[in-house]
Amino acid sequence: MYSKQFIIPFSLLLSLPIIFFLFIAPHVFPSPPPAESLIPISDEISDQTLFSSAAASSTSLSHLSSASPKLKIAFLFLTNSDLHFAPIWDRFFSSHPKSLYNVYVHADPFVNITRPQKGSVFANAFIANAKRTARASPTLISATRRLLATAFLDDPANTYFAVLSQYCVPLHSFRYVYASLFESPTFDKTSDPDPSPGGVRVMFRTFIELISDEPRLWKRYNARGRYAMLPEVPFDKFRVGSQFFVMTRRHALLTIKDRVLWRKFKLPCYRSDACYPEEHYFPTLLNMKDPEGCTGYTLTQVNWTGTVKGHPYTYRPKEVGPGLIKRLRRSSHSSSYLFARKFTPDCLKPLLAIADSVIFRD
């Protein structure tokens, strides 16, 4: 009788440590972030050297106007796989002078990537200082800043910096993209027309989302801890937006020179379900420094219906056709979206089939 009276409470007492470590400890003591999401000290030192060099060169044409040499678009590609859509991008750039654009690729050196053959615009576009990247980590912020600094240093005529991924495709011809960014006084529906006498706009704005009403914004803000972002980043200044944007040279320099916000956004997250630093750093930085210099929207169309584990909807070959391209172009903020993602690699063939008749026919 005595043993039966105490055996159940004693068994429950013995099970308390098991219950604690299985159900309570993970919330009280979150697991550390994966090693690949942390920034090694050696990478930090290398990056700061690059950023300092870029900032020091900023006195030469930090903001261009119609009196400057030919304005260029720097196309910055982030990839951790083969450049599946290189052929359609090659066709996009073909027959247009190099005096109007430059191409740069940040490829994860820890991934075996097949480089495009000689003759492709991507053949010599891979930057030498690329580092390891991981999704939903500050490594993608570093990679983007690396691309910005490299392009900033490489050519003072780089005026706009378009950040893209290997899964992005153009929705228009190069001629249309260039004219939309530099010449059209009506492309951006959110600003007043401001053409210069020479037909080239004097004031350029960055095309980036600055979203403040995202349903999970509070959780995203607290992903590193309740007070981790303070005092430098108060919640009312925190923003979210696509990591694929078109940035002005002035804002590229601002991003390269930043040290204060970077120290906050490189901190490890303890909420993996709300940690997407690459979607937070750039919108928050520009919202705090120069919100009037931003449009508040992106030029890369993404379909978030049917999202899976934070990934957008992915288009497949059977969906590719003239109708899809026309739908993807529609924008309520500008005359048209210029780029779109995300496509499976086997979409290349149907995309090439309609490239000249649909995509590059404006």
Q: Are the CB atoms for 359 and 329 separated by under 8 Å?
A: no
- Band (pLDDT 50/70/90 cuts) for residue 66 is very low
- Band (pLDDT 50/70/90 cuts) for residue 5 is low
The whole-angstrom separation of Cα 75 and Cα 85 is 14
The whole-angstrom separation of Cα 175 and Cα 100 is 10
Q: Which two tokens stand for residue 339?
A: 């780029």
The whole-angstrom separation of Cα 283 and Cα 208 is 7
What is the residue whose two structure tokens read 């992903």? Answer: 223
Q: What is the pLDDT of residues 209-232, one digit of tens each?
A: 999 999 999 999 999 999 999 999
Q: What is the average pLDDT across 285-303?
A: 97
pLDDT for 21 equals 47
The whole-angstrom separation of Cα 227 and Cα 278 is 20
Residues in CB range of 40: below 8 A, 6 or more apart: none
Beta bridge partners of 336: none
Q: What is the pLDDT of residues 147-178, one digit of tens each?
A: 999 999 999 999 999 999 999 999 999 999 99
Whether residue 43 is predicted with pLDDT greater than 50 in this model: the reply is: yes
Backbone angles phi, psi at 229, to 5 degrees: -85, -10
Which own/partner contact pairs does 94-97 have at CB distance under 8 Å and 24+ positions apart?
96/174, 96/175, 96/178
User: Mapped to the 3 state alphabet, what secondary structure does 197-219 carry?
Assistant: CCCCECCCCEEEECECCCCCHHH
Q: Is the dihedral of CA 166, 362, 318, 305 positive or negative?
A: positive
Beta bridge partners of 163: 76
- Band (pLDDT 50/70/90 cuts) for residue 304 is confident
Q: What is the average pLDDT across 181-210?
A: 79
The whole-angstrom separation of Cα 54 and Cα 74 is 15
Backbone angles phi, psi at 94, to 5 degrees: -60, 145
- End-to-end CA separation in angstroms for the chain: 89
Return the SS3 of 267. coil
Whether residue 131 is predicted with pLDDT greater than 80 in this model: the reply is: yes
Residues in CB range of 143: below 8 A, 6 or more apart: 78, 106, 130, 131, 133
Q: Which two tokens stand for residue 20?
A: 């604690």
What is the residue whose two structure tokens read 């937070």? Answer: 280
* DSSP assignment of 235-257: GGG--B--S--EEEHHHHHHHHH
pLDDT for 28 equals 47
Nearest alpha-carbon partner for 34 in 243, 272, 220: 272
Q: What is the pLDDT of residues 315-352, one digit of tens each?
A: 999 999 999 999 999 999 999 999 999 999 999 999 99
The pTM assigned to this predicted structure is: 0.88
Q: What is the pLDDT of residues 10-36, one digit of tens each?
A: 555 555 555 544 555 445 445 555 655
